[in-house]
Structure 1
């Protein structure tokens, strides 16, 4: 209904676009501070509109595009049975078809939402058939999904290594994207099932802790590059046996730093949702016992 769509878009503007604009401006000034960009109003507006104020913000640009075309896919799911039933497959076909055409004819360099249709429609398909998918979490097909994910993951890792690190091979962009799409779709579906198994097996406390951390996921997405930059200065990377330990230390410190900043803002600032997206009314640190008053 019109009312439902109006409410839907109003919430997205409030809890996604507003935090995005706030952090895009923060990153613009941060980039200027470190000498990466100049404070040119026209360039700043252009970067914000294209999701280019910092490397991770392009995803918001894609999300906004998806929101604009979402009614089309909702209508298709309601009216076209085969599309609803095989939405994940249509996503793969649309994405790879677009990539093939763009790779051949160079249609656009624009960061278009069609680049992400495989995982987007996979998520929609899981949402529609969620109960049925949960019932399949112990299916033997998990073995196949694991092998496909492992194989595609190894392949895309080797391609990255030889293409970008060693520069020893050359392949078409479409071939690379086809392998990457297979990895993302198979891997996402496989780990969805694993997550459902873990949610069933883990204690209520463990699941609650995961949920309390996950509620800040959008905030992590927005703030982590800045926190990581400061952590990187404190934990330099050396090209020796300490490399992996230092990477792990950076990861843990960045994760903890992001969580503490977001939780602190959530606890102390009444407008924290305008910084980090929709948040619950009360800020709970990691875990609170059910009998806690």
Structure 2
């Protein structure tokens, strides 16, 4: 590796933009879950296209979270020496702040589902079912995301060691990510036939490897993601345009085939859905990074603070928001059409988001041991204000959230 490139890799500044990306991702996740019933029950509505649009376009939430996990890990750990202390710290933090909340919420959701739908099930069958779902991330529909991340945490030290010894391999890692992901998809389609194929990290390997690549080389490529006049060279403008045109076109394809399938009963090869979704979510992860930089530089401070805090709470919101949706849906409107129904679905989003925000913020602030529920939640409001007071006028400073 060239000496100047090595110097760039050693520079690791704080990245408050990460919290804005988390905020965009959690908005996507909650929107998808809030509109899921509408995509089934609102097909006769004149604005069904809008339900389908938000439900499919914002499916970028989970892949973006996975991309960001790899990005933050490689960004934060790449320049640290690999030793027993690092590995012990890495796994102890994940065990404490990720695995414990996953187990706790698996118990919570499984218990709710049991007493709602399976109260008469035999005790032995209940125990067997719980451990089966726990080991496969299926205690509730959204917990597979934590299960996938845990798998990547197992792989991370090995990948980190390989890329530290052979940094040039990270460039090939982008291609390898697609090869592993699509090898798994094809193998599953024609041989394995795993029902919950999306519950395994191989299914998202292109997103993980994109995050790994950017986490390692971010100091070198950072300027490319900052869209502003002083960065607008001819080559970058072309690159930005290609990224956004490709990303939006891929998203449009993904949205269309789902609309055609849902409304018209069209039949597409399953690989078409996988391809459209992969091509949709892959560039959108890069686009959210550009949006985060733009927002951080240009949006009013109060807006940035709002979404920064949302990003800090996103893990807890991810875990708890289905509870709000579950109970909210127990009280559907009596009307079967009209504006009331649309407002009810819209209300589901706001109840899930606002309710989760308030619960997570209150518990993490006031309840001892809240990490067992929501992991390590950054609470840097006082620190941020102190630094802002010391900063230059117009300059905004944030402390970096936990990896």
- Regarding TM over 0.5, the answer is yes
Q: 1:262 aligns with which of 338, 354, 360?
A: 360
Return the alpha-carbon distance in structure 1 between the equivalents of residues 278 and 245 of structure 2.
Answer: 15
Return the alpha-carbon distance in structure 1 between the equivalents of residues 379 and 340 of structure 2.
Answer: 42
Return the alpha-carbon distance in structure 2 between the equivalents of residues 74 and 239 of structure 1.
Answer: 54
Shift of residue 233 of structure 1? 3.8
Q: Give 3-state SS (helix, strand or coil) of 2:329's partner.
A: helix
Q: Give 3-state SS (helix, strand or coil) of 1:34's partner.
A: helix
Q: 1:41 aligns with which of 103, 110, 127?
A: 127
Q: 1:227 aligns with which of 296, 300, 324?
A: 324
Q: 1:79 aligns with which of 158, 165, 168?
A: 165
1:135 matched to 2:223? The reply is yes
Q: Alpha carbons of 1:288 and 1:258: their partners in 2 closer, same or farther (altered >3 Å)?
A: farther
- Of residues 237-246 and 253-262 in structure 1, the stretch that sits farther from structure 2 once superposed is 237-246
Q: Give 3-state SS (helix, strand or coil) of 1:55's partner.
A: coil
Quote the residue 2:203 is aligned against.
115
- Of residues 97-106 and 21-30 in structure 1, the stretch that sits farther from structure 2 once superposed is 97-106
Return the alpha-carbon distance in structure 1 between the equivalents of residues 367 and 289 of structure 2.
Answer: 34
What is the aligned length?
A: 288
Return the alpha-carbon distance in structure 1 between the equivalents of residues 216 and 332 of structure 2.
Answer: 44
Please give the root-mean-square deviation of Cα atoms over the aligned residues, in Å: 2.5
> Which residues of 2 match residues 232-251 of structure 1 at below 5 A?
232-234=329-331, 236=333, 238-241=336-339, 244-251=342-349
Quote the residue 2:297 is aligned against.
200
Q: In the alignment, is the contact (CA less than 8 A) between 1:78 and 1:84 conserved in 2?
A: no
> Which residues of 2 match residues 178-217 of structure 1 at below 5 A?
178-217=275-314
> Which residues of 2 match residues 144-155 of structure 1 at below 5 A?
144-155=242-253
Q: Give 3-state SS (helix, strand or coil) of 1:54's partner.
A: coil
Return the alpha-carbon distance in structure 2 between the equivalents of residues 194 and 158 of structure 1.
Answer: 24
Shift of residue 97 of structure 1? 2.2
TM-score of the two chains, using structure 2 as the length reference: 0.66
Return the alpha-carbon distance in structure 2 between the equivalents of residues 247 and 131 of structure 1.
Answer: 42
Shift of residue 246 of structure 1? 3.5
- Of residues 230-239 and 251-260 in structure 1, the stretch that sits farther from structure 2 once superposed is 230-239
Return the alpha-carbon distance in structure 2 between the equivalents of residues 219 and 2 of structure 1.
Answer: 30
Over residues 143-180 of structure 1, what are the superposed CA-to-partner deviations in whole Å (9 max), with x where a residue is unaligned?
Answer: 21111111111111122223345322231x22321221
Return the alpha-carbon distance in structure 1 between the equivalents of residues 175 and 367 of structure 2.
Answer: 44
Show structure 2 runs of 5+ residues with no match: 1-82, 228-235, 390-403
Return the alpha-carbon distance in structure 1 between the equivalents of residues 178 and 281 of structure 2.
Answer: 10
Show structure 1 runs of 5+ residues with no match: none
Over residues 227-270 of structure 1, what are the superposed CA-to-partner deviations in whole Å (9 max), with x where a residue is unaligned?
Answer: 11223345648544555544332212211100111111122211
Shift of residue 53 of structure 1? 0.5
Quote the residue 2:86 is aligned against.
4
TM-score of the two chains, using structure 1 as the length reference: 0.88
